[in-house]
Amino acid sequence: MAIVKLQNVTYKYPLTDTPVLSNINLDVKEGEFVAIVGPNGAGKSTLCYTLAGFIPHFFKGELEGRVEVAGVELKSSALNEWVRNVGLAFQNPFNQISGAKYTVFEEIAFGLENQGVPREEMNQRVEEALTMTGIRDLADRSPYSLSGGQQQRVALTSILVMRPKVLVLDEPTSQMDPIGTREVFAVIRRMAEDGMTVIMAEHKVEWIAEFADRVVALKDGKILLQGPPSDVLTSRLLSENGFGISRYTSAARESLKMNLWPKHLHLPITLQEAVDGFGGKK
Amino acid sequence: MHERLSFYVKRDSFLHRLNPLTKLTLVFGLVFVAFFSPWYWTPQTIFLIAIIPLSFLGRVYREYFGAAFRLILPATGFLFLMQAFFQPIGTVAIFKFWFLDITAESLAFAFANASRIFVMVSSFTLLLLTTHPSDLMSDLTRRGLPSQFAYVIISTIQIIPQMQAKAQTIIAAQRSRGLDTQGSYLKRIGALVPLVGPLVFGSLVEVEERAIAIEARGFTSTRVKTSLREIPDTGLDKTIRWFFILLVIAAIAARIWL
Amino acid sequence: MKIEIKDLHFTYPGGVEALRGVSLTIEPGEQVAMVGQNGSGKTTLAKHLNGLLQPTSGSVLIGDWDTRKVAVAKLAARVGYVFQNPDEQLFSSNVGVEVAFGPRNLGYSAEKTEALVKDALALTELSDRTKTNPYDLSPTWRKMVALASIISMDSEIVIFDEPTTGQDALSIARIARVVAELKKRGRTVITITHDIDFCAENFERVIALSKGQVLLDGPANTVLGQEKILAQTYVDPPQLTRLGKRLGLKNTVRNQEEFLAALKKQ
């Protein structure tokens, strides 16, 4: 059952002539994890903002086509209602802290306050969310005293507590160090395993290989290719168009030419696949 | 990362326990009385009988006096000098400074004005030191203030320390490109251009991103908001508010009739 | 010119002891990567190299200049520092003017400045965008403008602070080309980076810092092979290094060439 439907979506920012998204057709099933890859400028962020409703309601501009989430159409919705269904987290964790709250606990409750949730329920849901994302120990800290990775996890928890149907993530780890990246992906994995529908724009191919059910390769605002990670991430089309590919894939491709990689085997996208392939397992 | 993004100091005190609107009324009360009262020595009296005791009642005397000496006094002192020298009131010069005549009247006027501003800034400082922006925002929103308005207040309070931090980085970056921030005054003014541009642009980007983030958390929802923290509004609060309202009326009345 | 760091200690005003006795020498023309977790001291160390931070004790010598005695603006002639966020540096309405800012501050003549700017723009593939407003460029290209702005200062030593954060593959390749060209010109290139693959593929020497001290310092092949020690400062070895180890390849490999060569040998 497709919970997200994009039909012939084309978008131009205000006062521009070139569309940033052209004829995007994309269906996402409930519980699916879709990764969006592409060079900078391909339209990944624009796509994320469109799914989250900020295009066209916040950024204005011309949006053509149909955007539907859980049966509701975007153009005829108000942004403040759309955000109940679609949660958004983006690159800079610092700018996602509301600044209106003194502790992490209150920060997470902020979204529930806005939704008018009764106090007792708020307390309960925040506790649940903190446990689920593993940041219970940060509850009494000031959001501004946290590391980037911690702040991003707080941002994710703040969205999660609102129980959206779809989670949109725009390069959530691009500003993070390796520890932060690991922590953030751990939270995202837990949310995905819990059945959340996730659409994530990301450069880090090794992580996408582990999580995604489907990869959508975007270039110049158009979908170049989409499919399972092992197909898309090993496609020649990607390396020919300036996409970043895993070094395992690239090494295996070169090895193939020298007969050092088994011909019948799919090119690897994870370390384990590479070890198995080069190591001679079938 | 900076721990505090507002002036608020977390402590337990009489002032801290007061309702945010009460404190706001108190501050406006003091400001109105300072500006409207016909008695010349009002601001100084307010400072002695209200500001100082309040700083102790709020257990923020150290922070307040720190701010007063480092920021408020120099700023109002500067204002005083500007007005004393450039405000053309009165005819008899007490003394000459270069080509400027300083009269008794202009000194008196400048002093009165500077004192009023001092009281105003001090009152708001006490408010900011003892009130968490979030509580202030929640309380005002609950009473009907549109949430966007409340948010403008909150983000303005935050913006100063944020911009400070950003400015430090920008200064470091430009110094690393050979920008001389220590030379003559003329040089220093010229040095402002490469500092202001990135600061303003960067701050605008941050403001926009934060607006998106809070929108994503339902900030502009039209539903009735609830509050996680209990913000009490006691009988004492109401009494204090009425007292200050009456005080303001009295001051205005005194001005009109005396 | 040599960089000499002698028993450097640094404590931030808030009390955090960020560097606890770092001593090392960087010879002219070396390509050095500094790695380590956030808080290990790598950025603090880098900021000592152009005088932005002053030692609490110990000394930093850039050639014959002691950083405690020479102003940051003057040290810029010898040490260029590319900050992580280009938006914290760019202020002109014109790429050309922006890139000329550094050399002009250093007091170079108009002719010399023009030549340096031209060269820097060519190096960063911005020659056809001299009159463009940097803010009309994408963040990726703004990064190149920031790079050009430092390269135009023609300093012998260039420091890159997390150059690949948020960049896509094409942009990282572009930055790698810049590093290679600087290497050809005999410049000392120092980078602080979390991107261990970028580090492995472009830098000959790796210094791993942990808790304000040097944990490892040596040729990339040696350091990057020390998985357990690197783990202390939360650094994962590069992808191909890990693969090589798992496959039991004798030598530590750090890029595709070395990996394929080692594989062939087996």
Give residue B159's pLDDT band: very low, low, confident or very high (50, 70, 90).
Answer: low
Whether B235 maps to a domain, the answer reads no
DSSP string of A216-234?
A: EEEETTEEEEEE-HHHHTT
Range with lowest mean pLDDT among A238-247, C1-10, C50-59, C152-161? A238-247
Specify the CATH number for the domain of residue A168.
3.40.50.300
Judging contacts by C-beta atoms under 8 Å, the chain A residues touching residue C210 are none
Most trustworthy range by pLDDT among A41-50, B36-45, B57-66, B223-232: A41-50
Domain count, chain A: 2
Segments in chain A forming alpha helices (H): 44-51, 54-57, 79-82, 104-115, 119-132, 148-160, 178-193, 205-211, 229-232, 236-240, 247-257, 271-279
pLDDT over 60 at B5, yes or no: no
Which pLDDT score, from 0 to 100, does residue B158 have? Answer: 65
C235/A271 Cβ within 8 A: no
Say whether both A156 and A278 belong to one domain.
Answer: no
Domain that holds residue B201: 145-216
Q: How far is CA B226 from the centre of its chain?
A: 28
Chain C residues contacting B via beta carbons under 8 Å: 47, 50, 52, 71-74, 76-77, 80-81, 83, 85, 87-92, 101-102, 105-106, 135, 149-150, 153
pLDDT over 50 at B3, yes or no: no
Arithmetic mean of pLDDT over chain B: 83
Nearest C-alpha of chain C: how many angstroms from B130?
Answer: 24
pLDDT over 90 at A228, yes or no: yes
Virtual torsion, Cα C112, C114, C120, C122, nearest 10 deg: -130
Mean pLDDT for the stretch of residues C78-86: 93
Domain count, chain B: 2
Domain that holds residue C265: 237-266
Judging contacts by C-beta atoms under 8 Å, the chain A residues touching residue B1 are 94, 144-147
Say whether both B169 and B95 belong to one domain.
Answer: no
pLDDT tens column, C56-73: 999 999 999 999 999 999
Mean pLDDT for the stretch of residues A167-180: 92
Say whether both B124 and B70 belong to one domain.
Answer: yes
Range with lowest mean pLDDT among A96-100, B133-137, C230-234? B133-137
Give residue A189's pLDDT band: very low, low, confident or very high (50, 70, 90).
Answer: very high
C240/A245 Cβ within 8 A: no
pLDDT tens column, B180-233: 877 676 777 777 778 888 888 888 888 889 889 999 999 888 888 888 888 888
Say whether both B64 and B160 belong to one domain.
Answer: no
Nearest C-alpha of chain A: how many angstroms from B166?
Answer: 13
**Which position has the higher pLDDT, B189 or C157?**
C157
Nearest C-alpha of chain A: how many angstroms from B146?
Answer: 13
Cα–Cα distance between A24 and A47 in angstroms, integer?
Answer: 9
DSSP state of C167: -
Say whether both A150 and A184 belong to one domain.
Answer: yes
DSSP state of A136: G
A80/B220 Cβ within 8 A: yes
Say whether both B206 and B248 belong to one domain.
Answer: no
Domain count, chain C: 1
Say whether both A253 and A177 belong to one domain.
Answer: no
pLDDT over 90 at A107, yes or no: yes
Whether B228 maps to a domain, the answer reads no
Complex ipTM: 0.89
Whether C254 maps to a domain, the answer reads yes
B212/A88 Cβ within 8 A: yes
Say whether both B38 and B121 belong to one domain.
Answer: yes
Say whether both A188 and A280 belong to one domain.
Answer: no
Interface check A94 vs B, CB under 8 A? yes
Whether C250 maps to a domain, the answer reads yes
pLDDT over 90 at B104, yes or no: no
Which pLDDT score, from 0 to 100, does residue B38 have? Answer: 85
Residue whose C-alpha is closest to residue A268's, from A208, A186, A209, A193? A209
Counts for chain B of helices (H) and strands (E), in that order: 12, 2
Say whether both B57 and B44 belong to one domain.
Answer: yes
Residues 119-148 of B with CB under 8 A from C: none
DSSP state of B227: -
Domain that holds residue A55: 2-245
Mean pLDDT for the stretch of residues C214-220: 95
Give residue B107's pLDDT band: very low, low, confident or very high (50, 70, 90).
Answer: confident
Judging contacts by C-beta atoms under 8 Å, the chain A residues touching residue B226 are 112-113, 116-119, 122
pTM comes to 0.86
Which pLDDT score, from 0 to 100, does residue B205 have? Answer: 84
Whether B1 maps to a domain, the answer reads no
Say whether both B120 and B248 belong to one domain.
Answer: yes
Arithmetic mean of pLDDT over chain A: 92
pLDDT over 50 at A188, yes or no: yes
Say whether both B153 and B131 belong to one domain.
Answer: no
Residues of chain B with pLDDT > 70, as a percent, come to 89
Range with lowest mean pLDDT among A58-72, A103-117, B79-93, C228-242? B79-93
Which chains touch A (3+ CB pairs under 8 A)? B, C
pLDDT tens column, C85-141: 998 888 888 999 999 999 999 999 999 999 999 999 999 999 999 999 988 888 899
Say whether both B126 and B210 belong to one domain.
Answer: no
Task: Kindly report the backbone phi and psi dihedral angles of residue A77, in degrees, each rounded to the nearest multiple of 5, phi listed first.
Answer: -105, 160
Whether C92 maps to a domain, the answer reads no
